[in-house]
Amino acid sequence: MAGTTICHRAPLSLSLLRRRSYVRHPSLLPVYSQLSTDTASKGKEFEGRVGFLGIGIMGCPMALNLIKAGYDVTIWNRTKSKCDNLINLGAKYEPTPEQVASSCDVTFAMIADPASAAAVATGENGAIQGLGSGKGYVDVSTVDGATSKLICESVQKTGASFLEAPVSGSKKPAEDGQLIFLTAGDVALYERVASLLDIMGKSRFYLGDVGNGAAMKLVVNMIMGSMMASFSEGLLLAEKVGLDPNVLVEVVSQGAISAPMYSLKGPAMVKATYPTAFPLKHQQKDLRLALGLAESVSQPIPIAAAANELYKVAKSQGLSDQDFSAVIEALKAKLQN
């Protein structure tokens, strides 16, 4: 079983990966996970210039960690002023994604939504214009599978390699280098950038064909969005019947349903403050994409569908740029009405 080929483009080198889990997928591809703390099986140190497209809530700390690790990093963002701090810390800047990709050996992209991710990669002055044989493009954005496959095909036509690698984690994990990478695509590129992923994250999964990484991320964020909606209901119900919602947070955090998200977000939610780590508009976007994914395979997800409607209400209240925990405000409005 260890000799099974994961990707038609290249065999997996088990010297660079310790197989921690093996899961049967309908495509019969094995799934590998790697903890970044497993020093004995870390990837070979990356050599070359690294590009990073998208210096926002997530992209900025991710690129910063690469700079701190001593890598030669070139960056781009639609709003150049967001790059100023990283430039002051040693990053180079190029005015277009094309020029970043042209000047770098591997280019990462962390873009807000599928349409923007496709435009940055394949649009005017897009990254593919600067790609070619020997280069790699790693899309760490959260997009649907169709968009990821479209970008992959465009990248491969240039002779470059493609890896989708959406991340599980928000602003603080990005700052702390504790993200989880859900990768799929060119396994040789996966191995090539493994040391970079280990700097930005605490673990990485290789999931086989392009589209699997995107699907896994959408399922994870679907669960997260539904959990937050239910948690919001619980906080408000507890308060309504005379219980202290702070005590509820403590009780939940010590029980079988404990999740870091509850203890991290709960106290601020009780105070009606929502410092943005993961924008509400992005959570709603991911729920919408998850609903489309479910529809494509005729899988009912009624709980996620109901949660999506709640996030849409929150967006209509002007909460798009607040943290996704601000969804509780949509429930408060419903109670008042």
Residue 305: burial class (beta carbons within 10 Å; 0-12, 13-18, 19+): middle
Give Rg (Cα) of the chain.
20
Clarify whether 271 is annotated catalytic: no
What pLDDT was estimated at residue 298? 98
Q: What's the pLDDT tens digit per position in 90-114?
A: 999 999 999 999 999 999 999 999 9
Closest among 45, 323, 40 to 196, alpha carbons compared:
45
What pLDDT was estimated at residue 21? 33
Identify the architecture of domain 46-208 in CATH: 3-Layer(aba) Sandwich (3.40)
- Indicate the domain borders of the chain: 46-208, 216-336
Q: What's the pLDDT tens digit per position in 189-217?
A: 999 999 999 999 999 999 999 999 999 99
d(CA 307, CA 222): 9
Name the active-site residue from 42, 135, 217, 315.
217
Mean pLDDT of 320-327: 98
* pLDDT reading at 5 higher than 50: no
Q: What's the pLDDT tens digit per position in 232-260?
A: 999 999 999 999 999 999 999 999 999 99
Closest among 258, 253, 217, 219 to 58, alpha carbons compared:
217
Q: What is the mean pLDDT of the chain?
A: 90
d(CA 248, CA 238): 7
Q: What's the pLDDT tens digit per position in 27-78?
A: 445 566 777 555 444 557 999 999 999 999 999 999 999 999 999 999 999 9
CATH for 216-336, options being 1.10.220.70, 1.10.1040.50, 1.10.1040.10, 3.40.50.1820: 1.10.1040.10
